[in-house]
Amino acid sequence: MANRILLGDIGSTFGLKVSRAGTDVTSGADKDMLFDSTKNRTGQIYGGGAGITFVDSSSDQEVYVRGSVNRFGTAFINPVNLTGKKIIIDGTTVTLSTTTTSFGVTFTTVDNMKADINAASISGVTAGTSSLSSTDKRLRLEKINSDMVISYPASNSLETFVGIAGGTYDYPELSTSGINFLTGGASNKPNLGYIPLVLLSEQHAGGYEGEADEIYESVNRLNLFKTTSSTIHPVAAQASLPADQSSQGTAVGAPVGIGRFYEYSDGDYPQETEMVNANFFVIRIPCAYGYMTTTYFGT
């Protein structure tokens, strides 16, 4: 059996160390310590992640970002010629060259931007538009299979015209697969052997209200997660009635369901209430350590 508790002289100072099961406390790495008094925090961080987006369906598993309102959509609405302006997508520089001429005025539309970006044939990236009215549109950039990185040159930048900030846009994870924090770092981590304390936050939290034409009902169903000894999943509360209390014969539902998506009244943001921009820290503190067995928690 491995030595797991070291109290007193721990080498360079005096203190207390406790190692995880199977690890010798006198020789184990920092990542294998459940507690180390030499650290400046009581709960050592085992794993973590930032900027994570979950989607409920594989059909939504794409990066997408929208620009600002098209203020130069026609010759009658602030026409601007953006020839020579540039945007850099995944390292490929796109220089605008396509224009529209109407009533003797030459200008750049969102459709012109879309054509120039698509002509660059950037792997996995597709430019599109989102209509706001008969004349106003937004530029929409989409990518599948990986993150999308957007940046701008020091001069002739297109950023202020499209309203898309430079940065890395996260490729969504499927809710059903969760995030495996055992493999989330540079190398695989050993299984904790117990359910740890996981601290989570996300962009959308707190209550959620129904559609404008319905009775408003505030439900604290956002910011709910399910954790195991290796993964986290966003979940949604289920409100199915027992079968003997429902006139529709609704079967008894589980307390929570894996994945989360709620309809939102703003049609231009159909994924507004999915789990967006989540950050988490896995703290190496066991919850009810010694009791995470089938005796107490089932199979």
- Paired with 150 in beta bridges are 89, 167
- Which has more pLDDT, 115 or 202? 115
Please give the structure tokens belonging to residue 34.
């459940």
Do 269 and 191 fall within a single domain? Answer: yes
66: containing domain:
62-169
Do 258 and 292 fall within a single domain? Answer: yes
What number of other Cβ atoms are within 10 A of residue 48's Cβ?
15
Do 290 and 186 fall within a single domain? Answer: yes
3-state secondary structure the chain: CCCCEEEEECCCCEEEEEECCCCCCCCCCHHHEEEECCCCCCCCEEEEEEEECEECCHHHCEEEEECCCCCCCCCCCCCCCCCCCEEEECCEEEECCCCEEECCEEECCHHHHHHHHHHCCCCCEEEEEEECCCCCEEEEEEEECCCEEEECCCCCECHHHHCCCCEEECCCEECCCCEECCCCCCCCCCCCCCCEEEEEECCCCCCECCCCCCCCCCECCCCCEEECCCEEEEEEECCCCCHHHCCCCCCCCCCEEECCCCCCCCCCCCCCCCCCCEEEEEEEEECCCCCCCHHHHCC
pLDDT tens for each residue of 188-207: 676 676 777 888 888 776 65
Number of folded domains in the chain? Answer: 3
pLDDT tens for each residue of 122-148: 999 999 988 766 667 888 999 988 899
pLDDT for residue 26 is more than 70: yes
Which of 136, 169, 202 is the last residue in one of the domains? 169
**pLDDT class for 248, splitting at 50, 70, 90?**
very low
Which of 121, 137, 169 is the last residue in one of the domains? 169
Do 53 and 67 fall within a single domain? Answer: no
Do 194 and 53 fall within a single domain? Answer: yes
pLDDT for residue 157 is more than 60: yes
pLDDT tens for each residue of 91-109: 999 999 999 888 888 888 8
Do 186 and 236 fall within a single domain? Answer: yes
Q: How far is CA 84 from CA 112, 172, 249, in A?
A: 13, 33, 63
pLDDT for residue 292 is more than 60: no
pLDDT at 252: 54
Do 262 and 204 fall within a single domain? Answer: yes
Which of 169, 196, 231 is the last residue in one of the domains? 169
Do 127 and 145 fall within a single domain? Answer: yes
User: pTM of the entire structure?
Assistant: 0.60
